[in-house]
């Protein structure tokens, strides 16, 4: 049984609310280091953020964007519509 969103998931949603579209690396910097010290990000931070993003995507809370020209994939929050199931909103 789920106990709600985890700390990393909540941090990701907060970052996306404030910043808009962000990459996995940018989200790791935001969640773990408050937007500062990008040189401290390790592979374990990126893995945890990717895992949390996939969980949020399955729950219909975030959406993966297309790969940009620079090769980076950015994520964003899914706008919730009243009375519409998140999966149905994703398909529109």
In a 13 Å sphere around the CA of 1, the CA atoms on its Cβ side amount to 1
The CATH number for 63's domain is 1.10.10.10
pTM: 0.79
Domains in the chain, number? 1
3-state secondary structure of 10: helix
Number of H helices, E strands in the chain: 4, 3
User: How does residue 35 score in pLDDT terms, banded at 50, 70 and 90?
Assistant: confident
Asked, for residue 57, whether it belongs to a domain, the answer is: yes
Asked, for residue 2, whether it belongs to a domain, the answer is: no
pLDDT for 30 beyond 70: yes
- Structural domain including 25 reads 7-90
The pLDDT, as a whole number, for residue 66 is 85
Distance CA 36, CA 60 (A): 29
Tell me, rounded to whole angstroms, the distance of Cα 77 from its chain centroid: 7
């Amino acid at each position: 049984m789920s106990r709600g969103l985890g700390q990393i998931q909540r941090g990701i949603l907060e970052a996306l609310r404030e910043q808009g579209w962000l990459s996995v690396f940018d989200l790791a910097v935001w969640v773990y280091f408050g937007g500062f010290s990008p040189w401290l990000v390790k592979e374990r931070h990126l893995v945890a953020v990717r895992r949390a993003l996939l969980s949020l995507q399955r729950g219909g809370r975030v959406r993966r964007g297309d790969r940009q020209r620079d090769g980076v994939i950015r994520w964003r929050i899914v706008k919730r519509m009243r009375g519409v199931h998140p999966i149905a909103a994703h398909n529109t």
